[in-house]
């Protein structure tokens, strides 16, 4: 429970700093706006997608070596 509180505190303290770095971005790609309001959401969505992909790779059989290659004899 302590780790969850620490991660939440770090998130509350770091995310405003990341958000301020997006204040100078303002462009549109294929009608999708990238500005200081939408960029934090896109950034967090990309981070979450990367986390999901890493969890899928490391916690599924797809991301592991076959058992015969893991033997050390």
Domain that holds residue 46: 28-63
The predicted pLDDT at position 30 comes to: 93
Is 53:43 a contact under the CB 8 Å cutoff?
A: no
Work out how many domains the chain is built from and give that number.
1
For the entire predicted model, the pTM comes to 0.61
Chain segment 4-14, per-residue pLDDT in tens: 888 888 878 88
* Residue 3 counted as domain residue: no
Q: Collapsing DSSP states into helix, strand and coil, what is residue 69? A: helix
Inside any domain, residue 22: no
């Amino acid at each position: 429970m302590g780790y969850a509180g620490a991660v939440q505190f770090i998130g509350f303290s770091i995310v405003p700093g990341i958000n301020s770095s997006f204040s100078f971005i303002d462009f549109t790609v294929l009608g999708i706006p990238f500005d200081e309001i939408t960029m934090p959401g896109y950034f967090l969505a990309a981070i979450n997608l990367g986390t999901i992909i890493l969890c899928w790779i490391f916690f599924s059989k797809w991301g592991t070596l076959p058992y015969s290659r893991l033997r050390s004899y």
